[in-house]
Chains A and B, each alone.
Chain A
Amino acid sequence: MPVVQVEGVRKSFGAVEVLKGIDLTVERGEVIAIIGRSGSGKSTLLRCINGLEGIQAGRIEVSGHKLDASGRGLRELRKDVGIVFQSYNLFPHLRVGENIMLAPRVVLGVGRAEARQRAEEALAEVGLGERFDAWPDNLSGGQQQRVAIARSLAMKPKVMLFDEVTSALDPELTGEVLATMERLAEHGMTMLLVTHEMGFARRVATQTIFMHQGKVWEVGPSEQLFGAPQTPELRQFLGTGLK
């Protein structure tokens, strides 16, 4: 059974339809990159998958949790879906360790000792094992983003969503975050990422989706999609994107 199943999803902001019938399937262990211009609907699609945006039509199912226009069952679904944002969004009033332990403790009801263990494991996974007691404000952007990844990991999600997670970072800090994501992929995490890092998508993603005008315009194994784009729109996008 696929981890994520998206069928005929439509989404409008007012009169503007940004998703015009999206179908998408993510199998366990797959890493799928979503590329496309700004305004192509790729971030919106990601945000629909964990219910941060409601949908007008269609069906989303994540590891057995159905999400429809009614918004029921949202919290159950979110326990299985981690998301990392462009702007990190760590909780500034909590130390790094507390940031990570909070949701397992209050949402999953995990005990303090186990929550701490989860947090330490997650921090080690993102290479920040020694920053447990640091304040978010004292970390670099790249470190904050890795803590945000760890915070999601500690919930032991079935799938992780990454919404342009390196777009706010200096080039030198982008690398450490991408390396963290690559390690996650190697460890078998199912991932769906919206990205402008074409090299990363090509190398790490098993499949890449090119979105254009609210539709899945082209989809295929990354090597094939980047190596031999079929549509003129993708060719044009890659021409400018890879410059």
Chain B
Amino acid sequence: MIRTFSESEFLFIVASARWTLLLTLLSLLLGGLLGFIVALARTSQLAPLRMLAAGWIGMIQGIPVLMLLFLSYYGLSMGGIDMPPIVAASVSMALYASAYLGEIWRGSIQSVAWQQWEASAALAMSRAQQYRYVVLPQAVRIAVAPTVGFIVQLVKNTSIVSIIGVVELARAGNLVNNATFAPFKVFGTVAATYFIICWPISLLARRLEGRLNARRSG
């Protein structure tokens, strides 16, 4: 039986965006935390830490997100660890995010002038104080634009987890389309919903960047 694409189908698609948002949020929080650690390790004075972080970034960036997803969903469940799809999805997206955010933030930290390290060291600051009060506040400004760019990518890339049965935005569209055969309306709605999520993020980034830059010459 073919259903028509009516209000309830429309609402089902739009409501499923909450899983997309939740996934993005979870992978961003977890991946951001891990990515921050990766960035610090990558800029550490200890060579083994730097190498470890570089290895992590290289490895994760060299593996398709899909494989991370399969490994955490099928791989771990075969190893006896049973994970709900949403958890497996969040974990794999977080791993993916950690490598990219780690690399973005490493670049931001390293683009702070080295004289800033020297000046703060000469004032007897510890390495942690240098990060906290001098380097990171400057790195944040540099990091805003590429980080937000990545978040937008992340929102869109969460669609990949539909493969393991998480009914997020893209999967919801698929289900509705299978029942209604109204692909233009269905995927138009899906695309519009993604856009409505992503566009404000980009706008926010532009405002944030403008404000951070304005502060310096107030």
Contact = CB atoms under 8 A, between A and B. Distances in A.
A89 B134 CA distance: 11
B123 A85 contact: no
Contact of B122 (A52, A76, A137): A52
Interface string A56-92: 0000000000000000000110110111010101111
Interface centre among A92, A93, A103, A155 (most CB of B within 10 A): A93
Given A89-B116, A92-B138, A135 B125 contact: no
B217 A79 contact: no
B124 A107 contact: yes
A52 B118 contact: yes
B213 to A, nearest CB: 11
Interface in A96-146: 102-103, 106-107, 135, 137-138
Interface residues of B, number: 22
Given A89-B115, A102-B133, A135-B217, A78 B138 contact: no
A69 B190 CA distance: 64
Contact of A85 (B119, B129, B134, B215): B119
A107 B115 contact: no
Interface string B107-131: 0000001011011111111100100
A50 interface: yes
B216 A103 contact: no
Contacts of A83: 122
Interface in B203-218: 215-218
Given A85-B115, A91-B116, A93-B216, A103 B123 contact: yes
Nearest to A104: B123
A151 interface: yes
Contacts, number: 62
Nearest to B114: A89
A138 B218 CA distance: 9
A52 B125 CA distance: 13
Contacts of A87: 115
Contacts of B217: 135, 137-138
Contact of A75 (B116, B124, B133, B134): B124
B50 interface: no
A26 to B, nearest CB: 18
Nearest to B118: A52
Contacts of A151: 123
Contacts of B123: 78, 102-103, 107, 151-152, 155
Interface string B176-218: 0000000000000000000000000000000000000001111
Nearest to A87: B115
B124 A79 contact: yes
A146 to B, nearest CB: 15
B216 A85 contact: no
A233 B122 CA distance: 33
B118 A89 contact: yes
A151 B123 CA distance: 9
B141 interface: yes
Interface string A9-26: 000000000000000000
A155 B123 CA distance: 8
Interface centre among B123, B141, B217, B218 (most CB of A within 10 A): B123
A91 B134 contact: yes
Contact of B137 (A50, A85, A93): A93
B214 to A, nearest CB: 11
Interface of B: 113, 115-116, 118-126, 129, 133-134, 137-138, 141, 215-218
Interface of A: 50, 52, 75-76, 78-79, 81-83, 85, 87, 89-93, 102-103, 106-107, 135, 137-138, 148, 151-152, 155
7 closest Cβ pairs, A-B complex: A89-B119, A78-B124, A103-B123, A89-B115, A79-B124, A83-B122, A107-B124
